[in-house]
């Protein structure tokens, strides 16, 4: 097990390196630089700025600086002037300075934006699980009844409504027509409790009122997917021999379903939880945009338009880390759900 985890962690290195290199090259290939939008900048000033971020260097040198830091550049290329640079390198946890938000490090920007997105994402994921799994289970147990048909139909409908539609419809009904909920905003502001959670003092009615619509807009689509997967895989599992054995030895129906069937049928659900978790926690631009939430989502989109090379690299790598990390957790969870799965 430990060996397996170590091997997987080592396997992350080439993947993350590939993503870093690919993004690094592609983002610099996009015409237009980070300072081009500032009209009327004297050429000397722009050159100074470019030099500050090492953008005047050849790309390979920039990449080494980004990855390993300026002191390594000085050692590798013999360019002692490089030691004056600020980059300490990705391997030492330094994402660099943002080119758009001057004097802010990418790490600082992420520290402010990630917790809000994470709170929203975790709540949406919980909502998706708490609606999706019971709904799928119920549909499978009552196969071909009206419960099954209704929930399967509802699942397809909610799968088909994109965020970009669900968010304005929710705003229209719940905020504009009924005036039940605030149109926009998020109830918690930094500093966050333990760096992620809303501070206990802001955990009041208002916080949850703000959260209802974005959480629903983000979570219902995933809930529908989870419900479909749960139904399909539970239908397969309850026909297996070991379920008949469990019934034959006189276990109650509840024990058969919850302990024996459900545990095995959750494997496909767990599989999609990995990417889902990464996507939800790192923010989704559309929902955050509609509800005026200052999360990480906007940085994914705006940093491309701003040509904010370092910020874009930072959020992309963060997302990739979440993705590979949660996929590893998923694989570990397989072994617990189905002891026949061995890690070797």
Partner 1 sequence: MAVTELTLEQSDAAILERKERSLFQESLSRLMKNKVAVVSAVFILLLTFVAFLAAFVPIFLDPLEQDLLATNSIPEWMLFLLPDNAENYVKFSNVYPLGSDHLGRDMLSRTMHGARISLSVAIVASAISLLIGTVYGAISGYIGGWVDNIMMRIVDFLYGFPFLIVVILLQAFLKARARQESEGIWLTLININNSMGGLFFLFIAISLINWIGMARIARGSVLSYKKKEFVEAAHALGASEMRILFKHLLPNIIGPLIVAETLAIPGYIFTEAFLSFIGLGVDPPTPSWGIMISEAVQGIRSYPNQVLIPALLLSLTTLAFNFMGDGLRDAFDPRMKE
**Interface with partner 1 by CB under 8 A: which residues?**
15, 18-19, 22-23, 26-27, 29-32, 156-157, 159-162, 164-165, 168-169, 171-172, 176-177, 183, 231-232, 235, 285-286, 289-290, 300-301, 304-305, 316, 319-320, 323-324
Nearer to partner 1, 39 or 177 (CB): 177
Provide the minimum distance between the beta carbon of 264 and partner 1 in the complex, in angstroms, as a whole number.
16
CA count, 13 A, side-chain hemisphere, 173: 7
Output 28 or 88, the one with its CB closest to partner 1.
28
Q: How far is the CB of 193 from partner 1 (least distance, A)?
A: 29
Q: How far is the CB of 198 from partner 1 (least distance, A)?
A: 27
Task: Tell me if 210 sits within 8 A of 147, measured CB to CB.
Answer: no
Closest distance to partner 1 from the beta carbon of 71 (Å):
30
Nearer to partner 1 among residue 26 and residue 51 (C-beta)? 26
In the bound state with partner 1, the residue whose beta carbon lies nearer, of 5 and 30, is 30
DSSP at 289: H
Cβ closer to partner 1: 188 or 210? 210
Classified as helix, coil or strand, 97 is strand
DSSP string, 146-174: HHHHHHHHHHHHHHHS-HHHHHHHHIIII
CB of 200 to partner 1, least distance (A): 33
DSSP tag of 259: I
Cβ proximity to partner 1: between 167 and 211 the closer is 167
- Least distance to partner 1, CB of residue 298, Å: 10
Distances (CA, A) of 191 to 113, 197, 201, 288: 11, 9, 11, 20
Q: Are 225 and 131 in contact (CB under 8 A)?
A: no
Angle at 267 between CA 327 and CA 136, to 5 degrees: 120
Closest approach of partner 1 to the CB of residue 284, in Å? 9
Q: Which H or E element spans position 123?
A: helix 106-141
Residue number with CB closer to partner 1 (19 or 211): 19
The two structure tokens encoding residue 116: 């809000």
CA 65 to chain centre: 27
Residue 191 preceded by cis peptide, ω within 30: yes
Confirm if 248 and 223 have CB atoms less than 8 A apart: no
């Amino acid at each position: 097990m430990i060996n397996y985890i170590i091997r997987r962690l080592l396997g992350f290195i080439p993947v993350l390196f590939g993503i870093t290199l690919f993004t690094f090259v592609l983002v610099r290939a996009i015409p237009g630089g980070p300072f081009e939008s500032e009209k009327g900048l004297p050429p000397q000033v722009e050159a100074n700025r470019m030099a500050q971020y090492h953008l005047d260097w050849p790309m390979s040198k920039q990449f080494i600086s980004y990855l390993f830091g300026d002191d390594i550049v000085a050692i590798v290329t013999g360019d002692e002037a490089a030691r004056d640079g600020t980059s300490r390198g990705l391997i030492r946890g330094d994402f660099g300075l943002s080119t758009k938000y001057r004097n802010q490090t990418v790490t600082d920007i992420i520290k402010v934006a990630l917790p809000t997105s994470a709170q929203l994402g975790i709540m949406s994921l919980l909502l998706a699980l708490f609606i999706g799994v019971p709904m799928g289970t119920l549909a499978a147990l009552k196969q071909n009844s009206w419960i099954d048909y209704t929930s399967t139909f509802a699942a397809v409908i909610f799968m088909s409504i994109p965020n970009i539609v669900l968010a304005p419809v929710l705003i229209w009904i719940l905020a504009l027509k009924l005036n039940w909920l605030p149109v926009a905003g998020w109830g918690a502001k930094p500093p966050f409790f333990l760096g992620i959670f809303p501070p206990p003092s802001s955990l009041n009615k208002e916080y949850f009122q703000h959260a209802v619509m974005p959480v629903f807009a983000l979570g219902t689509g995933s809930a529908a997917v989870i419900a479909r997967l749960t139904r399909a895989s539970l239908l397969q599992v309850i026909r297996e021999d070991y379920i008949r054995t469990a019934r034959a030895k006189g276990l109650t129906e509840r024990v058969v379903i919850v302990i024996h069937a459900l545990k095995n049928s959750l494997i496909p659900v767990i599989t999609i939880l990995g990417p889902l978790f990464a996507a939800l926690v790192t923010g989704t631009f559309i929902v955050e945009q509609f509800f005026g939430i200052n999360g990480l989502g906007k940085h994914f989109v705006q940093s491309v338009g701003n040509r904010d090379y370092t910020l874009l690299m930072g959020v992309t790598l963060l997302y990739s880390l979440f993705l590979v990390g949660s996929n590893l957790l998923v694989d570990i969870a397989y072994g617990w759900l189905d002891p026949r799965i061995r890690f070797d």
